[in-house]
Amino acid sequence: MIAPVHRPLWFCFLPSVFCRFMWYGLLPTAYCLLSSGCGYTVRPGLASHLKTVYVTPFTNRIDLTQLATSGQPFPIYRHRMELDVTNAVIDRFQFTGLLRPTSAQRADCRLEGELAQFRRDALRYNASQQVEEWRLNVVVNLRMVDQTNDTLLWEEGGLTGDATYFALGASAESETAALDRAITDLARRVVERAVESW
């Protein structure tokens, strides 16, 4: 004869507690995780018919004939900077997935931009009055056009991306690397402006 197994009273309630935990705890959590997916899923401020964008090549409007004055530094210019800005903006659109870059003929909207300024401003000097830290500013003017009905959605001037870097010391960085960071920052700001409420 097999002796009966005596279990504590709380053991009898385990199946119902487990079922409640699964129903009210794990299942909703699993649903949220599975339904959220990866990347951006919302389209803030975008009209429902706008799904693709054509980024026109940025043009260079920096006036290289300006003379340096105490109030305004000479406008430095890196060769092909407008192409670097164009490519960075396209890459950022691809990364966010909110508007898919495509050709001019297939795009629902068109982003037009011009490179207006490139400034390098001194932020900090060392004891020898050498510039220790610089700030780079890349400034663009933008227009967004709805190509389905050929209307201007918005226009903004003076949108700026920036980066700071040390020219001296242990944390020194090249201006080229800092400029790449400034252009990346500008591209992020351009795409944010493109998809926010108009």
Confidence (pLDDT) at 87: 97
Give mean pLDDT, residues 177-183.
Answer: 94
pLDDT in tens, 81-123: 999 999 999 999 999 998 999 999 999 999 999 999 888 889 8
Give mean pLDDT, residues 10-15.
Answer: 55
Token duo for residue 130: 């050498």
Answer whether 86's CB lies under 8 Å from 58's CB. Answer: yes
Kind and range of the H or E element at 158?
strand 151-166
Answer whether 177's CB lies under 8 Å from 168's CB. Answer: no
- Whether 6 shows a pLDDT value over 50: the answer reads yes
Would you kindly state where each structural domain of the chain is located, as residue ranges? 10-39, 52-195
In angstroms, the CA 96 to CA 35 distance is: 18
Q: What is the largest CA-CA distance in the chain?
A: 107
In angstroms, the CA 144 to CA 54 distance is: 10
Entry pTM: 0.72
148: CB partners within 8 A, 6+ apart? 49, 108, 109
The CATH code that applies to domain 52-195 is 3.30.160.150
Confidence (pLDDT) at 177: 93
| Closest C-alpha among 122, 119, 128 to residue 166 | 122
Token duo for residue 69: 């004055």
Token duo for residue 97: 């997935």
- Whether 78 shows a pLDDT value over 50: the answer reads yes
